Structure 1
Amino acid sequence: MELGKQLRRKRKELKLSSIQLAEFSGVSQSTISEIEADKRSPTINTLEKLCSAMHISLQEFFPYSEFSDFSKDEYELLAVYRKLSTAEKVDFTELLEIYHHLSPEEKFHFTKLFSLLIRNR
């Protein structure tokens, strides 16, 4: 689905006029109309303003099932990963790499140990 059609569909779903969306978002009504007509590509900043005004996240605006081949679990994992600091991302990536190379028995014990650690925090 094109971006403009997606925006118009979501706006109408919420029963908002383009004028109302403009007032709530701070994005001009003419810009919204141009985006909806696919005559203009919005910046990420503009999309964030529009989504915020509609009380949805960018992730909700671009549902995983329409715009990627990620599973819902993969999409949720990516959302958590993006919240990590740079150092945490390095640690997490290293941890996944180690886990990937474990035997099935080692993975079982690792998962049990990790579950105990989480419960005791």
Structure 2
Amino acid sequence: EDQCILQHSNRICVITLAETHPILQNGRTIKMSEKSKRWRATCTGGEEHTTYSCIRSRLLEVNEVILERPKLLLGKGYIAVILLKIESKTVTNGLLSREEYESVISKRTSSTQPEPC
């Protein structure tokens, strides 16, 4: 699923959802729950999405407000703050940049549009 990792040079990262994540689409109602480094969102209609910390890290903080008021994710809310393991600093090199991500999304949306007649 589409995640956004905001990384600072001091190895602290903020985990949030990318604007294209399915639970942020079509005005869905969201209910969040958390366990360790896994967050589950249940949308209207029972659809569930699980977000994991996709890099080796230590959990510093869970945004408890998101668990109580998940609609904050629709704005600029964050899920958690993590600290990268020292050896994991190079792991983030494999993540997509903003430009690369936008290119993937552009290709994804153009492949789902019907061909013109």
Q: Which has the larger radius of gyration?
A: 1
TM value normalised by structure 1: 0.26
TM value normalised by structure 2: 0.26
Structure (1/2) with the larger helix percentage = 1
Structure (1/2) with the larger strand percentage = 2
